[in-house]
A and B are shown apart, each in its own frame.
Chain A
């Protein structure tokens, strides 16, 4: 009895380093961000306590006109990620589960782009898609598809879908690996039993595989949500800090960047801290909600 208490006591001791780092780099900045947001600022000099004035500033017309479209684009990115990236990820995982040889090599290949920094990926794709010198449009023209040789990132109608495609290109390996692992955890016997009972392969997938993949899907959905809401590097590399063209790729991360670093506003620190707190609360709250809904169903 005495021994186990000491053990537990000493095990807490081992948590201290992690806890200190976590407090220093996560809890403390979060808390300071919160305190920053209720003061007005003169550059980096804290001025006076203003309560919720900075938050009210986020709702003024000129700011709202940027905030709402940006938030909308975050949601569209999430929807696009779910529909395109995660569906493809599942398809790849299913296809790979039937591959006997070279499975590892293929998995690595699909997952490789996600090891590259999104900024690098972004710049790479702006070069590929440049309407003036880009090889993608030259290739399309070369094979007689002039109609498709568009300024992919220069037209507001195609810019966001292009961002979704590039995100997918980069991240598809991630849901693929998670789904592969989940598929590996489903005992073969279930499918065999179903087939013995005369189930078609679609029925096996629909009734056995898919329901058993639900926990993996919940995880992927939540991670995709957080990723889409916090996206910055890729859109910054593709469309600059204003979300070009004409704000069609503007997202919360870019709006925060502009509010904090690019506005020249004397109270930039107050406004951007308020935005950061709003983003954190919103993403944290939505994630909790999402998790609850998803976990309840599984």
Chain B
């Protein structure tokens, strides 16, 4: 009979866990709950959406955060296909958005419903469009830029300033190397980093968006000497990467930089958040590598993702109204201040000084990150080219051969 209290406790706790829906029918009727799925820390969403709930007392925004990894795509496509999916969700940009668009899971957005969309930069908006129908399926939320992050103290200790010319940069790297500091913390083992780093050092050489447009219009191909020379910069910088660079993982590279063993980290703007958390003593600066042939460099960037509305939402009007707010400057400001990354909303100025500096540079010298535009196909050209760059860094193939492999892969779908 000693089991009785235990059993009672179990019954009680089960009852407590059961959804308590029928208790407050009046309240749930006038209050609409919009569920939002995304990735990243959940408390950030709660913070941002609280502002909307304050403005719209009749709406309750319920954010659920999942992993950033590829599993999210599976979770989302399953959720949107069934009846238990979200009303709104973070969508991937470009190629990875297309399966949802073609399956008809998303609501196309019109500027009549979401007026903010018409102010967006075309390059930013393109990443939220269906490739075939050209309709907009999401409100872009973030722009990521790619550049070199550097440790201000190490630079000052060695009398180095952010380089104005390519030769300056090489001279600085030489100096650091002579002082037993790894110039660039970069790991080639996690191969998704390779096109990113190739674009940081090479975009100016192949000529940014003009070149990409030429490739898309089939006036040029990736075997073009300018592109080959661009990716060949990686080979030229190899002496300034960690030893056995193809065996160094992404995390190793982050640790090299955060522990002060390396002076520079070529990577995305999202690294700033990571280093602010994990390299508390390190004062961070950013610069764009100058063009090897003289002149200013280019800062590649891409739209990170967008807010889309499920075609199955039961609260279409409320969801569209929320989307309109997501495309507003109010939200953009809230987003950049909460997450310390760029908002995709046009005209939003970040308050963080470092971000503001990047923003100014990006306005002047911004370019499209080439890989996201060419990530189609199965196997995707991104996978193919990442592997080619890895082989190039290992010295098994030349820059020409790597470019040829990309060209061949792109030709299967372009």
Binding site for B on A (CB under 8 A): 42-45, 57, 60, 62-63, 66, 126, 130-133, 150-156, 239-242, 244-247, 258-259, 261-268, 271
CB-CB under 8 A from B175, the residues of chain A are none
B81 at interface by CB-CB < 8 Å: yes
Inter-subunit contact B73/A261 (CB<8 Å): yes
Interfacial chain B residues near A271, Cβ < 8 Å: 378
State the main secondary structure of chain B at its contact with A.
Answer: helix
- Say whether A264 contacts B379, CB under 8 Å: no
CA distance A152 to B247 in the complex (A): 8
Q: Is B104 an interface residue (CB 8 A)?
A: yes
Q: A73 → chain B, closest Cβ, in Å?
A: 14
User: Does B102 reach chain A (CB closer than 8 Å)?
Assistant: yes
Interface pair A242/B248, CB less than 8 Å apart: no
Interface string of B85-104 (1 = CB under 8 A from A): 00000001011101111111
Interface positions, chain B 160-180, Cβ under 8 Å from A, are none
Contact A242 B383 (CB under 8 A): yes
Which one, B133-141, B290-298, B387-395, is touching chain A? B387-395
Contacts of B384 on A, CB cut-off 8 Å?
62
Asked if B383 contacts A151 (CB within 8 A), the reply is no
Query: Shortest beta-carbon distance, A268 to chain B, in Å?
Result: 6
Residue among B92, B95, B247 with the highest chain A CB neighbour number at 10 A: B247
| A-B contacts, 23 listed (Cβ < 8 Å) | A42-B103, A42-B104, A43-B98, A43-B101, A43-B105, A44-B77, A44-B103, A45-B104, A130-B252, A131-B248, A133-B252, A154-B189, A154-B248, A155-B246, A240-B191, A258-B380, A261-B73, A261-B74, A262-B70, A262-B383, A263-B377, A263-B379, A264-B95
Check if B191 sits within 8 Å of A266, measured CB to CB: no
Which of B77, B243, B249, B255 interacts with A126 by CB under 8 Å? B249
Distance, CA A85 to CA B350, complexed state (A):
57
Confirm or deny: B62 has a beta carbon within 8 angstroms of a beta carbon on chain A: no
Q: Given the complex, which residues of B lie within 8 Å of A267, measured CB to CB?
A: 378
Of A131, A241, A258, A271, chain B has the most CB atoms within 10 Å of the CB of A131
Please name the residue on chain A nearest to B386 by beta carbon. Answer: A242
The answer to whether B267 has its CB under 8 Å from any CB of chain A is no
Within the complex, which residue of A42, A43, A57, A132 is in contact with B242, where a contact is CB–CB below 8 Å?
A132
Q: How far is the CB of B42 from chain A (nearest CB, A)?
A: 23
**B246 and A154 contact, CB distance less than 8 A:** yes
Cβ-based interface call for B412 (8 A): yes
